[in-house]
Amino acid sequence: MFQSVISLIPMLLRVFLAISLVVLFDLYAYQAIRTLTADLSSGLRRGIRITYWVINISFYVFGILGMAGYHGMIEKNIRTVISGMFFALFLAKVLMMIPMLMEDIYRIFNGIISWISGKKDNQVDDSNTGFLVSRKKFISQVSIGLGGLSFASLTYGVVRGAHNYKIHRVDVPISGLPPGFKGLRIGHLSDIHSGSFWDKDAVEKGVEKLIKEKPDIIFFTGDLVNNISEEMNEDYMELFGRLKAPMGIYSILGNHDYGDYHNWPDKVEFKGNSSQKDKSHMSPMQKANLENLINKHKQMGWDILLNENRIISRGGDSMALIGVENYGARGRFAKYGNLDEALEGVSDHPFKILLSHDPSHFESQVLNKTNIALTLSGHTHGAQFGIETAGFKWSPVKYMYKQWAGLYTFNEQQLYVNRGFGYLGYPGRLGIRPEIGILTLV
């Protein structure tokens, strides 16, 4: 009994620290609520303040249940949406605090200068500035505005943005394209992340969009699940199994498909750089999970390429389709991919297309090192957040990946990065819509 209590101490400390941090954020953000409600009637003022704490305490309870392992008490779809709202609320409070923190720093700095100089603190009197509102109230209004705008936007990203699928139609110029492949229409999906789905009907509409496009061939470039194979359940297997193409469906694995981010009961701790991992480091349960996921690709009718290649013919010509396992050139991602092995027997083929989940692999091993004409990737999700218009494209993920969304041309080699079909972590998208790629070879 005593030992079991001792073993709970690290978990309890983590819970305590997490709750303490969130409560401190709430208390700080609450100062803006107090300031703006100070002039309201006592009943309305009390109602707004109580509502603020009821909402936040409800999220505390949800978070504690999650950390204690009781999330199963809440239906998955509701749980996912609540998690998204929690993220939106937390970020809103962080943004609220920025102008408040700047004001407090100014006051402290001004007070220190006054104390050093021996002069009276000449800060502006908030109570009678001559302006329409006091500075303190103005700062509170700015804070509430920032928080409210961010919360509304991120909530919209969950409710509407998560499944607002966009078909990206792109002509891909290939130098020396064999005549038989001119006009080939490729359906490109990536990063399905079935473990994050919370609205099956909406996902079904996305799948139907691709079906209606009737592509000649379909490529899936990894991350079918978040962590474990069971996330691709029978319902979603039936749904994605509806995809058909005359020349077949070909797929590869992404970094999330290996189960590396799951805490397996029989896990053996790996000491070293995670990028040096290979499958020999996987526990029996993790290996079984991976094998089960590979079988699910096959059961859906997808030809999964595990450092392999296929020769595909059309109109009297042929191409070599190469599929590598995940290879992340960035240090924290494991390198399971082996391009040399995948190229065996086809390295001299004049026309090659490569499926590789992580776009950083392209510059690391493909660009100027092979004659692969086109590489298809995913992985970045476009950060699920950004701005994308006809003439402008920006996302914070650009500071991590040089190539993060769309077509990139390097002399006679092309890279296309899919923005992803699903979502991970934040169960929504804002500005960067989920993608169904339709690429036409020209």
pLDDT (tens digit, 9 = 90+) per residue, 138-184? 888 888 888 889 889 999 999 999 999 999 999 999 999 999 999 99
* 12-16, 26-30, 336-340, 435-439: least confidently modelled range: 12-16
- Cα(417)–Cα(403) distance, rounded to whole angstroms? 7
pTM: 0.86
Residues 374-400 have pLDDT tens digits of 999 999 999 999 999 988 999 999 999
Q: Is the pLDDT of residue 92 over 90?
A: no
Q: Is residue 428 scored above 60 in pLDDT?
A: yes
Q: In terms of pLDDT, which residue wins out, 426 or 277?
A: 426
DSSP codes, 289-338: HHHHHHHHHHHTT-EE-SSEEEEEEETTEEEEEEE---B-SSTTS-B---
**What percent of the chain is predicted at pLDDT more than 70?**
90
Q: Which domains does the chain have, with CATH numbers?
A: 2-159 (no CATH), 167-441 (3.60.21.10)
Task: Give me the residue label for tokens 């004049």.
Answer: 350
Q: Which of 302, 280, 301, 295 is nearest to 355 (CA)?
A: 302
- Report residue 130's pLDDT band, with 50, 70 and 90 as the boundaries: very low
Measured CA to CA, the distance from residue 213 to residue 296 in angstroms comes to 24
Average pLDDT, the chain: 88
Adjacent-strand bridge partners of 414: 374, 409
